[in-house]
Homo-oligomer: A and B are copies of this chain.
């Protein structure tokens, strides 16, 4: 690689070109946003931690036979990944009720969701990533029926693999947000899997070790990200 060509810059990552049209570099920034970017901050070291946690989690998924865009880590803040076409649907899978779900439907905080609840959101910053139904996805032509079914199937498998993975590290996987991309006609897990995109609670104390510390000003944000890194990567 020579000079960086930025293909896309998001809120928490930059996507850089490589010499090959088939691969990109994901560069993890320390920038954090919440509530549709109304709240912004820098969490020092977050990019490093999230790159390494994501790399480890993607490796675990690959070992379980779940296709992801991850290729390899290339630096502290960078991973090489397959270049994919991102499906503009965020797939959230929830094992416990918290956050927007509790606010929207009046569920009890922490209520167990069994089977895990899958929710779909339209990945559209201008609209605030609204909740959508499969009928909305068809209307907006965001994905076809087979792709919707495959994303939901993969989300369930990812959750089934990561629940025990995190549990063995003393972490309850409360929920996670997945993005999917298409590469060579195959749907793969893309984006990142980190305390920015998962809710992780300490199994014993229930302490929140994820982006909710930033969202709700709970303090010790960097420490929480580092604690997850320590349990997952060290």
Contacts and interface: CB of A to CB of B under 8 A. Distances in A.
Interface of A: 104-107, 113, 117-120, 122, 124, 126-127, 130-133, 135-136, 139-140
Nearest to A134: B133
25 contacts: A104-B127, A104-B130, A105-B122, A105-B127, A105-B130, A105-B132, A105-B136, A105-B139, A105-B140, A106-B124, A106-B126, A106-B127, A107-B139, A107-B140, A113-B139, A117-B135, A117-B136, A117-B139, A118-B135, A119-B133, A119-B135, A120-B133, A131-B131, A131-B133, A133-B133
Copies in the complex: 2
A111 B42 CA distance: 42
Majority secondary structure, A binding face? mixed
A122 to B, nearest CB: 7
A117 to B, nearest CB: 6
A136 B104 CA distance: 11
A126 B113 CA distance: 22
A124 B139 CA distance: 26
Contacts of A107: 139-140
A101 B127 CA distance: 11
A107 B141 CA distance: 12
